[in-house]
Structure 1
Amino acid sequence: MSPRRPVALFVATLLLAALPALAQPAGAQHVPAPQDAAPLMPRYLLMDVQGRAVTQEDFRGRFQLVSFGFISCPDVCPTTLLEVKQILEALGDRASRLQPVFITVDPARDTREVLREYTAAFDTRILGLTGSAELVRRAADSFRVQYEIVREPGAAPDNYTMNHTAGMVLLDTRGRFLARFPYGMAVRDISERIRAVMAGEGR
């Protein structure tokens, strides 16, 4: 993405490109989540767009809906964040009990300022997080999210894309793993699952 290209225009272009992906999720390019019977122990220590340190413990008392991606992602990431917006809308008043989190897997290019504009273009309630390459890798590993740089032979160092695990992970009010929603799962089904979890937690 050119630094001179307005982020809002870039996001609008991505949203238009993502609409067919919403109708045909099977056509998207992404890395499937690894299958592992061991319990998931999600942890992160990252930085928000204001430069403040953030961990999963900061949202105790609220559920978290976490996804990983990168700003120049052409389809999977904008589709996912558009779905997050739709989930928040479907939850209505209960949306205040859910903190959506977007963690970049491309911290070298996704600066805090651009990340702020990018997430806000979908919904201002989405919290963008970044950090050092090491801290992002630790966070991704704890969620069993895989990612790698893909660069064409002879391309410039900053001219690359990313392969990464898509989908969303739901954490409970204590930051513990509840569910993984695969990429392409219907927004209605995800919203109903979250509503059911919230209702059960309140009993």
Structure 2
Amino acid sequence: MPARAALLLALALLSGAALPAAAAEARQDAAPSAAADNAAEDAAGENRGISGRYLLMDANGRGVSNEDFPGQYQLIAFGYTFCPDVCPTTLAEMSVIMERLGATAERVQPLFITVDPERDTAAVLRGYTEFFHPRIMGLTGSADLVRRAADSFKVRYEKVREPGAPPGQYAVDHSAGIFLLGPDGRYLRKFAYATPPAEIAQRIGEIVAAGEASPLSRPLPRHLRPRQP
């Protein structure tokens, strides 16, 4: 497990495992700005063209794509295990979202896609994601496949190394936010970074309930689905 995850684990133990709740509480004050960010991104068309397609590998070395969870909604975040702040905060909030969803959480698969495949091996990702929530699945792959996945979500990232730093010592600047795919594996919407977990959970609950009320929204078997462009 990376040093950052180990530190978070120690802090959680000392604080009575209050990290997810604390992260959720810290985000409540950001609700107006997060809502504005969501609206601004939609108005500016920044979320247009997101396909939400990926083909990566899970912690067991099995290939996983956006079409492998029929009937389930996918909650997706991009990041990396050496991330000092944004990523652990996002995963802690994802854990809160899953708890707040209650029984609806069974319809949701949370995923964490690395933007640092060089260091985030399958084993590293497993230890990292399991700390936050047992159902969060970490995905990695070749540099090319990770880049393709990020591009399909319009996630930007780049490696940043301080002058004179050794090859393995670097940070990764990347886009933040949480994406939601529908039960057919297609992109539904993006939640801006700092959107309170309670707000995200409520919105997902509404989306799932609306989908269950409409037979037309239920996913077709894969062999009957139209090909994505």
Q: Under TM normalisation by the shorter chain, which class is it?
A: 0.7 to 0.9
Q: What is the one-letter code of the residue matched to 1:39? A: G
Q: What is the one-letter code of the residue matched to 2:188? A: L
Alignment of 1:1-203 (within 5 A): 9-12=6-9, 19=22, 23=26, 35-36=45-46, 38-203=48-213
- Asked whether the 8 Å contact 2:47–2:154 carries over to 1, the reply is no
- Asked whether the 8 Å contact 1:60–1:173 carries over to 2, the reply is yes
TM-score, normalised relative to structure 1: 0.87
Change (3 A) 1:37 1:183: closer
- Asked whether the 8 Å contact 1:11–1:118 carries over to 2, the reply is no
Distance in 2, matches of 1:118 and 1:48, equals 13
Change (3 A) 1:184 1:8: closer
Gaps of 5+ in 2: 31-40, 214-229
The alignment covers a number of residue pairs equal to 195
Distance in 2, matches of 1:92 and 1:42, equals 25
Aligned structure 1 segments of 4 or more residues deviating by more than 3 angstroms:
13-22
TM-score, normalised relative to structure 2: 0.78
Distance in 2, matches of 1:188 and 1:138, equals 31
CA drift of 1:11 comes to 3.4
CA drift of 1:188 comes to 1.0
Distance in 2, matches of 1:38 and 1:20, equals 29
Say which SS state the counterpart of residue 68 (structure 2) adopts.
helix
Q: What is the one-letter code of the residue matched to 1:78? A: P
Considering fraction of residues, name the structure with more helix: 2
CA drift of 1:38 comes to 3.2
Say which SS state the counterpart of residue 95 (structure 1) adopts.
helix
Distance in 1, matches of 2:11 and 2:141, equals 24
- Asked whether the 8 Å contact 1:22–1:79 carries over to 2, the reply is no
Which structure has the larger Rg over C-alpha atoms? 2
What per-residue deviation string (whole Å, max 9, x for no partner) do you get for residues 16-66 of structure 1?
A: 89957962687xxxxxx7953633211101000000000011001100000
- Asked whether the 8 Å contact 2:23–2:89 carries over to 1, the reply is no
Distance in 2, matches of 1:164 and 1:124, equals 25
CA RMSD of aligned residues (A): 2.5
